[in-house]
Amino acid sequence: MSEWMLRAANADDLPSLAALLPRWELEAATFVDDDANDLLLLAFPLASPSVPPLGCIRIRRAIGLTQPRYWFHVGYRVHAAADLGMFRRERTLLLGNDHTGATELTAFAIDAQRLDAAQQEPLTRVLVAAALMLLQRDRRQQPAAAGALPRVIAALPGARDESGQAPFWQRLGRHFFPGDVDASTARYGSLWATHVAALLPRHPLVVSVLHADAQAAIGVVHPDSAPLRAALEHCGLRAGQHVDLHDGGAVFEAHPDAIDCARPLQRRILDVRAGFNPSTRVLIAASTQAAVWEVAGHTDDHAVAISAESAQHLRLENGTPVWCSNSCF
Amino acid sequence: MSPQESTRYLLRPCAAADLPALERFAAASPVGITTLPFDRAFLADRLQRSLHSFVTEDASGEEIYLFALEDLVTRAVVGISGIAARAGFSDRFYSFRNEFVVHSSKPLGVTTRIHTLHLCHDLTDVSLLISFHIDPAYVHTLAPQLLSRARLLFVAQHAERFADRIAAESAGVADETGRCPFWDAVGRRFFGMDYPTVERLTGGRSKSFIADLMPPSPIYVPLLPEEAQWAIGQLHPIAELPFSILIDEDFDSDTYIDIFDGGPTVQERIAMLKSVSRARLLDVRTRTSPARADAPWQLVINTERQAFRAVLVQAPVDGQALDLDAATMDVLGLATGDQVRAAELDIALPGASL
């Protein structure tokens, strides 16, 4: 099983990121030195950190505080007429900014050309867990930014038809914005959703009035994203009451305290041992650096023990205080 | 000159003896005509309410006035129509109001105009034209003109009993089984039952439950199936004739639709309607010579309530007087020197005849 290094992207990584992310995502990405609220985390094999990254995930803190972000809230309205014995519970969609201030995990990608399905799944878990670990570490070490919401979200891709179109959009949003979604996304990036929200209904929509295809797409996660869904669920995130404006995909969410892989986040001393080869895995993060390593290791009440070979790649000396976690593996 | 030669049709208040005629028209009504369900007890009750309404001096707003159109040649009742003094009396009267909202995104360079339907009570307490039914054999005569328009002059004549605004629902699109595309796309979602069932439930009872079951937020029309969108503001074939008369009277037909079948609900200030604005109070004089063939058609009502009568006649207006032949005077229950309210009609009905 591979060991992994995850670090913040820098400008030198841009050429190699084209295989992972669309141009608009790269143009929107900032780097750790530029913006502490926006971090693109790249995954490399620990033994060959100079190859192009095999996966990435983006952490965006305190979203929506400069440009409004929108989601549909899936709620319910009860219509009852007692004298007729009628009682109906109607699902509704309401456009809103409920997750404003939350931290978002986004731009998740794995290079499927270089990793087969069996290799993708563990890397997916590592990416999610590493991102959440950094969030938890920073939450322990520094106060939250003004306006930040103690919530982590991740919007999962929703249902698509055979032609790649989103039935949710075709039966809902298209009536309000007839333009080309892909072209608009390429031009405006994630801001496209902000712009298009101005065209969408401001009043609650009763779901039962929508076309059956749109109803069926609400909260659906695309099958290709099953590994990501599993990784998020493994770490304690769950589908909440919000869906994406475009494809109706579920928005997973969790309060940071409910994130399983972060709850046992421990402050330990690095214990480097020659010839050490434990069967367990640990996530290790330095105190301030935007980097996480997923290596063979073992924790006890005082230290996290790893092999000397792994420690060479971490470039951390024996006795260095680090953050570690092993609950996700 | 016999009455048949001067005026063939008479509109008068429904009498107790008209119950069989009411039943006949109710039985012939297609699904969707909710003001006249085929229910003898209901019709008898409605007739009694009408009789009382014409008589009572203590008008509260819950009155319903039913009129019978009589063919003076055959003495048969060939049509009925009515007025409810206040729509939704003691309750709310629900409609969908057409509204257009404009959404704009400057960055995307897109501005859209979206048709929405808002559940509203705007027409509560306006007067309501109801129960227009005409024998099919008389559709292409002048009879429907009298049957519909004379009600407007009745309202104008007895304005203290009515609101200053009047509305009329028109049956929307539905097939012979009662299947209604607008209902299927909207109402069925909230009521969970078919249209005929709801019609039975709502016929003659409070409709307050509508507010309990329908969404208070607007319905975005583009999200409805095309068949339902197309049905908005469209007429059931049976409603085309009465609707066309109301449109000719300058009713507004763009603002409201029926919440059940999506048919247009027209409305207007009574004073703005063509016949009402043209109507004048005139003295009547007995004419001895026949009216000229090119004399204008006049919609004429007497000024009575309980003994209300209305006819269509060809008669010239001479200053403040209207010359009527003796037979017409008799039909209207008039004597020389009495007053009538009369409005000249300019309708042109191809093929129309007496």
The maximal CA–CA distance of chain A, rounded, in angstroms, is: 80
Q: What is the mean pLDDT of residues B228-254?
A: 95
CB pairs < 8 Å spanning A and B: 89
Per the CB < 8 A criterion, the answer to whether A9 and A55 are in contact is no
Q: What is the mean pLDDT of residues A164-183?
A: 94
Helix (H, G, I), strand (E, B) or coil at A86: strand
Residue B26 falls within a domain, yes or no? yes
Question: A50 and A142: one domain?
Answer: yes
- Å from B228 to nearest chain A CA? 11
Residue B126 falls within a domain, yes or no? yes
Q: Which amino acid is at B81?
A: S
Using 50, 70 and 90 to split pLDDT, how confident is the model at B4? Answer: very low
CATH number for the domain harbouring residue B286: 3.40.630.30
Q: What is the mean pLDDT of residues B129-153?
A: 94
**Residue in B114, B186, B218 nearest the CB of A176:** B114
Residue B195 falls within a domain, yes or no? yes
Model confidence pLDDT, tens digit, residues A183-204: 998 888 888 999 999 999 999 9
CATH number for the domain harbouring residue A317: 2.40.40.20
Q: Which amino acid is at A218?
A: I
Question: A102 and A247: one domain?
Answer: yes
Enumerate the residues of chain A whose CB falls inside 8 A of the CB of residue B217. 92, 203-206
Q: What is the pLDDT of residue A325?
A: 87
Per the CB < 8 A criterion, the answer to whether B153 and B299 are in contact is yes
Catalytic residue among A73, A195, A222, A234: A222
Question: A193 and A275: one domain?
Answer: no
Whole-number percent of chain B with pLDDT over 70 = 91
Q: Where is pLDDT greater, at B275 or B351?
A: B275
Q: What is the pLDDT of residue B349?
A: 47
Helix (H) or strand (E) holding A60: strand A55-60
Model confidence pLDDT, tens digit, residues A278-288: 888 999 998 87
Q: What is the pLDDT of residue B202?
A: 63
Question: A230 and A281: one domain?
Answer: no
Residue A139 falls within a domain, yes or no? yes
Q: What is the mean pLDDT of residues A115-121?
A: 90
Question: A157 and A287: one domain?
Answer: no
Model confidence pLDDT, tens digit, residues B287-323: 877 777 788 899 999 999 999 999 999 988 888 899 9
Phi, psi of B128, rounded to the nearest 5 degrees: -135, 125
Using 50, 70 and 90 to split pLDDT, how confident is the model at B34? Answer: low
Q: What is the pTM of this model?
A: 0.86
Task: Give the domain-ending residue among A206, A238, A258.
Answer: A258
Residue B334 has pLDDT above 70, yes or no: yes
Using 50, 70 and 90 to split pLDDT, how confident is the model at B249? Answer: very high
Alpha carbons B243 and B171: distance in angstroms, whole number: 9
Residue A14 has pLDDT above 50, yes or no: yes
CB atoms within 10 A of CB A260: 17
Question: A111 and A214: one domain?
Answer: yes
Residue A328 has pLDDT above 90, yes or no: no
Using 50, 70 and 90 to split pLDDT, how confident is the model at B17? Answer: very high
Alpha carbons B72 and B39: distance in angstroms, whole number: 28
**Residue in A77, A81, A188 nearest the CB of B215:** A77
Residue B354 falls within a domain, yes or no? no
Question: A250 and A279: one domain?
Answer: no
Residue A11 has pLDDT above 90, yes or no: no
Structural domain of residue A296, as residue ranges?
A: 266-325
- Contacts of B154 by beta carbon, 8 Å cutoff, 6+ apart: B65, B67, B83, B301, B308, B310
ipTM score assigned to the predicted complex: 0.81
Tokens, residue A306 = 């790893």
Q: What is the pLDDT of residue B1?
A: 39
Structural domain of residue B295, as residue ranges?
A: 3-101+116-345
Q: What is the mean pLDDT of residues A43-67?
A: 92
Residue B167 has pLDDT above 60, yes or no: yes
Question: A248 and A300: one domain?
Answer: no
pLDDT mean across residues, chain B: 88
Of B200, B123, B198, B136, nearest to B168 by C-alpha is B123
Q: Which of A246-260, A299-313, B209-223 has the lowest mean pLDDT?
A: B209-223
Question: A58 and A132: one domain?
Answer: yes
**Residue in A88, A200, A204 nearest the CB of B217:** A204
Question: A15 and A111: one domain?
Answer: yes
Q: Going by DSSP bridges, is the β-strand pair B280-287/B321-325 parallel, antiparallel, or unpaired?
A: parallel
Kindly give the interhelix angle for B19-28 and B40-55, rounded to the nearest 10 degrees: 130
Q: What is the mean pLDDT of residues B318-341?
A: 91
Unique residue bearing structure tokens 């009872």: B205
**Residue in A175, A209, A210 nearest the CB of B186:** A209
Q: Residue B128: is it exposed, middle or buried by C-beta count within 10 angstroms (0-12/13-18/19+)?
A: buried
Residue B280 falls within a domain, yes or no? yes
Q: What is the pLDDT of residue B351?
A: 45
Burial of B276-291, coded b for 16+ CB within 10 Å and e otherwise, reads beebeebebeebeeeb
Residue B269 falls within a domain, yes or no? yes
- Contacts of A50 by beta carbon, 8 Å cutoff, 6+ apart: A44
Task: Give the domain-ending residue among A258, A283, A308.
Answer: A258
Alpha carbons A269 and B24: distance in angstroms, whole number: 96
Q: What is the mean pLDDT of residues B16-23?
A: 94
Report how far apart the first and last C-alpha atoms of chain B are (Å, whole number): 16
Using 50, 70 and 90 to split pLDDT, how confident is the model at B353? Answer: low
The sign one gets for the Cα dihedral B231, B238, B200, B217 is: positive
SS3 annotation, chain B: CCHHHHCCEEEEECCHHHHHHHHHHHHHCCCCCCCCCCCHHHHHHHHHHHHHHHHCCCCCCCCEEEEEEEECCCCEEEEEEEEECCCCCCCCCCEEEEEEEEEEECCCCEEEEEEEEEEECCCCCCEEEEEEEECHHHCCECHHHHHHHHHHHHHHHCHHHCCCEEEEECCCCCCCCCCCHHHHHCHHHHHCCCHHHHHHHHCCCCCCHHHHHCCCCCEEHHHCCHHHHHHCCCCCHHHHHHHHHHHHCCCEEEEEECCCCCCEEEEEEHHHCHHHHHCEEEEEEEECCCCCCCCCEEEEEECCCCCCCEEEEECCEECCEEEEEHHHHHHHCCCCCCEEEEEEECCCCCCCEC
Residue B350 falls within a domain, yes or no? no
Q: What is the mean pLDDT of residues B3-8?
A: 59
Q: What is the mean pLDDT of residues A66-90?
A: 87
Question: A63 and A34: one domain?
Answer: yes
Residue B108 falls within a domain, yes or no? no
**Chain B contact for A267 (CB, 8 A cutoff):** no
Q: What is the mean pLDDT of residues B156-167?
A: 96
Residue A89 has pLDDT above 80, yes or no: yes
- Please say if B236 is a catalytic residue: yes
Task: Give the domain-ending residue among A258, A283, A313.
Answer: A258
Q: What is the mean pLDDT of residues A1-28?
A: 85
Residue B194 has pLDDT above 80, yes or no: no
Q: Which amino acid is at B302?
A: N
Residue A18 falls within a domain, yes or no? yes
How many domains does chain B divide into?
1
Q: How many Å separate Cα B253 from the centre of its chain?
A: 13
- Å from B220 to nearest chain A CA? 8
Residue A91 falls within a domain, yes or no? no
Unique residue bearing structure tokens 């009713």: B251
Phi, psi of A297, rounded to the nearest 5 degrees: -175, 180
Residue B65 has pLDDT above 90, yes or no: yes
Question: A10 and A122: one domain?
Answer: yes
Residue A178 falls within a domain, yes or no? yes
DSSP code at position A326: -
Using 50, 70 and 90 to split pLDDT, how confident is the model at B191? Answer: confident
CATH number for the domain harbouring residue A63: 3.40.630.30
Residue A76 falls within a domain, yes or no? no
Which residue on chain A is closest to B208 by alpha carbon? A81
Q: What is the mean pLDDT of residues B202-225?
A: 79
Using 50, 70 and 90 to split pLDDT, how confident is the model at A262? Answer: low
How many domains does chain A divide into?
2
Unique residue bearing structure tokens 């938890």: A136
Kindly give the interhelix angle for A117-141 and A226-234, rounded to the nearest 10 degrees: 40
Enumerate the residues of chain B whose CB falls inside 8 A of the CB of residue A81. 209, 212-213
pLDDT mean across residues, chain A: 89
User: To probe the interface with B, which of A79, A196, A207 has the most B CB atoms within 10 Å?
Assistant: A79
- Å from B82 to nearest chain A CA? 29
Q: What is the pLDDT of residue A31?
A: 64
